[in-house]
């Protein structure tokens, strides 16, 4: 495979749905120079809002016509909520039995299985289908994505490899079995929200101790980023790194004790479990 970010077969990238996840992927790809604004198409129901948000990215091909995006793009990301998915199928039906063998459809809809996607997108004959679970930090190039694929008559390998290159350019990316995607949704897909809550709580603690709000947020975010980078760069287990900070009788171990009293680890594990189960329910 070529180096991440160098697309070979994909000339245009489409987004069905222009919400937060679509915006994160598109802005990340633009920031990394993987695609240019003129290569992006996006559709949503509210055109003024869509244009207001996407125009600053340089994206001018915004429309309410899902069919237009599907026709013009080579890789089409389906970025609508699962409950909205049935509403876009009428637009796709206008392309029934057209040759879509040179297109790749990538669903990022939580809980929607490849089998359900194949059934609902049967109007495209033949076509190539993938399912992915990215997260919003892709917009700053440090996302996490897992993905899997389905063979529907024909596998358009060059486009699938281009999809991999896009995800790899925006952070960590792994191909997995579909059975793992709901668990990853609960961990990495939803995980940024858990971390944002922790950063806010950490900053609130600083404010309570007299640190100005803006400084407290900056210090909390930098602390989380630094700790995460230390885990990734050193390869040490988080428990080992925690022990390195906890001096006997020191301030840190007293703080860790307070976290344990609040069942922080159990609460976070429960959050991942509940989010994973909800993703499975959506299927």
Known binding residues are 16-21, 66
Binding region for NADP(+): 16-21
What are the φ/ψ torsions at residue 98 (nearest 5 degrees)?
-75, 155
Distance CA 90, CA 42 (A): 17
- Token look-up 């509403």 returns 87
Binding region for NADPH: 66
DSSP collapsed to 3 states, 43-97: ECCCHHHHHHHHHHHCCCEEECCHHHHHHHCCEEEECCCHHHHHHHHHHHHCCCC
DSSP character string of 118-169: HHHTTTSSSBEEEEEE--GGGGGT-EEEEEEEE-BBB--HHHHHHHHHHHHH
Distance CA 145, CA 135 (A): 7
Measured CA to CA in angstroms, residue 7 lies from 107, 111, 147 at distances of 19, 28, 18
User: Which pair of structure tokens corresponds to residue 222?
Assistant: 């930098």
Say if residue 233 is exposed, middle or buried (CB neighbours under 10 Å; 0-12, 13-18, 19+).
Answer: exposed
Distance CA 141, CA 29 (A): 8
Across the strands, what pairs with 78?
16, 107
């Amino acid at each position: 495979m070529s180096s991440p970010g160098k697309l070979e077969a994909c000339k245009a990238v489409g987004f069905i749905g222009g919400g937060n996840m679509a915006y994160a992927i598109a802005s990340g790809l633009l920031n990394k120079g993987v695609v240019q604004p003129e290569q992006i198409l996006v559709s949503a129901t509210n055109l003024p809002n869509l244009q207001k948000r996407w125009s600053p990215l340089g994206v001018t091909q915004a429309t309410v016509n899902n069919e237009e995006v599907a026709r013009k793009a080579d890789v089409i990301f389906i970025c609508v909520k699962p409950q909205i998915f049935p509403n876009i199928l009428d637009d796709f039906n206008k392309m029934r039995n057209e040759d879509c063998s040179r297109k790749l459809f990538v669903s990022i809809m939580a809980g929607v299985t490849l089998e359900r996607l194949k059934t609902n997108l049967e109007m495209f004959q033949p076509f190539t289908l993938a399912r992915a679970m990215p997260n919003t930090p892709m917009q700053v190039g440090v996302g996490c994505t897992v993905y899997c694929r389905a063979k529907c008559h024909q596998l358009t390998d060059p486009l699938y490899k281009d999809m991999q290159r896009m995800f790899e350019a925006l952070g960590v990316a792994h191909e997995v079995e579909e059975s793992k995607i709901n668990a990853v949704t609960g961990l990495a897909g939803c995980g940024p929200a858990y971390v944002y809550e922790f950063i806010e709580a950490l900053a609130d603690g600083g404010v309570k101790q007299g640190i100005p709000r803006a400084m407290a947020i900056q210090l909390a975010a930098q602390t989380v980023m630094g700790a995460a980078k230390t885990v990734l760069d050193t390869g040490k287990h988080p428990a080992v790194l925690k022990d390195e900070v906890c001096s006997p009788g020191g301030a840190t171990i007293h703080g860790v004790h307070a976290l344990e009293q609040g069942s922080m680890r159990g609460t976070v594990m429960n959050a991942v479990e509940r989010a994973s189960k909800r993703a499975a329910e959506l299927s």
